[in-house]
Chain A
Amino acid sequence: DSGVTQTPKHLITATGQRVTLRCSPRSGDLSVYWYQQSLDQGLQFLIQYYNGEERAKGNILERFSAQQFPDLHSELNLSSLELGDSALYFCASSPRTGPGGNTGELFFGEGSRLTVL
């Protein structure tokens, strides 16, 4: 158990709909990352938050948005869903360490499987 909790584990919805995926990071971790894993694209970095602020952005579509709340949990919002959005969405968190002592170890949750029909 990585200590990262993601809900829901499975979600089936229709095209055009909107869903929200939730992530609770490990206790004490300030950084939260979202990744998308699809069959043809592998693991794609979407976005990262650190202590409530957006820190880095990857290949995240404009239809997608995320936020990190004061209690450090994060939500990924996916709207106007398309068939191609079907994928596993992973949240990961990392420890807060200072420069020079960092490890890039990310602790991944078990993912939310989104199926768009």
Chain B
Amino acid sequence: GESVGLHLPTLSVQEGDNSIINCAYSNSASDYFIWYKQESGKGPQFIIDIRSNMDKRQGQRVTVLLNKTVKHLSLQIAATQPGDSAVYFCAENMGYSGAGSYQLTFGKGTKLSVIP
């Protein structure tokens, strides 16, 4: 597969353990955040989102935490599986241009490697 970044932070976890991926965002006015997963050779895929009026949101095996005080976002993956190996990006909404339009700014990404 294609590499999406040679200098990405890397997190290696044992299969079955929990993973925590962190992200610092830049704009205190951002009101919406999303986590995307990018597998090798594919485009980013939506995982979970959270609005700024929340501090926690849970999905299936994933939880996103938002700390607006320190502009920090984290993605927790429970019982990490080999299929979770990918690059994970956080994205913040930098603007809303109407009618379902979002202008997302992506972070640099973190590479998650799951050790079987």
A-side interface residues toward B, CB under 8 Å? 2, 4, 30-31, 35, 37, 39-40, 42-45, 48, 50, 55-56, 58, 88, 90, 92, 94-99, 102-111, 113
Contacts and interface: CB of A to CB of B under 8 A. Distances in A.
A108 B43 contact: yes
Contacts of B108: 42
Nearest to A29: B100
Given A106-B46, A113-B2, A45 B101 contact: no
Contact of A108 (B32, B45, B100, B105): B45
A45 to B, nearest CB: 6
B70 interface: no
Contact of A98 (B6, B91, B100, B103): B100
Given A55-B101, A94-B101, A105 B4 contact: no
Interface in B19-49: 32, 34, 41-46, 49
B101 A88 contact: no
28 contacts: A30-B100, A31-B101, A39-B3, A39-B4, A39-B5, A39-B6, A39-B7, A42-B89, A42-B106, A43-B44, A45-B103, A48-B97, A48-B101, A50-B101, A55-B98, A56-B95, A56-B101, A90-B44, A94-B101, A98-B99, A102-B100, A103-B49, A104-B104, A105-B34, A105-B46, A106-B102, A107-B46, A113-B2
B93 interface: yes
Interface residues of B, number: 32
Contacts, number: 90
A58 to B, nearest CB: 7
Interface of B: 2-7, 32, 34, 41-46, 49, 89, 91, 93, 95, 97-109
Given A37-B4, A42-B107, A104-B32, A55 B97 contact: yes
Nearest to A111: B43
B112 to A, nearest CB: 16
B14 to A, nearest CB: 27
Given A31-B99, A45-B106, A107-B46, 12 more contacts: A31-B100, A39-B4, A42-B108, A43-B89, A43-B106, A48-B101, A50-B98, A88-B2, A103-B49, A105-B34, A108-B45, A109-B43
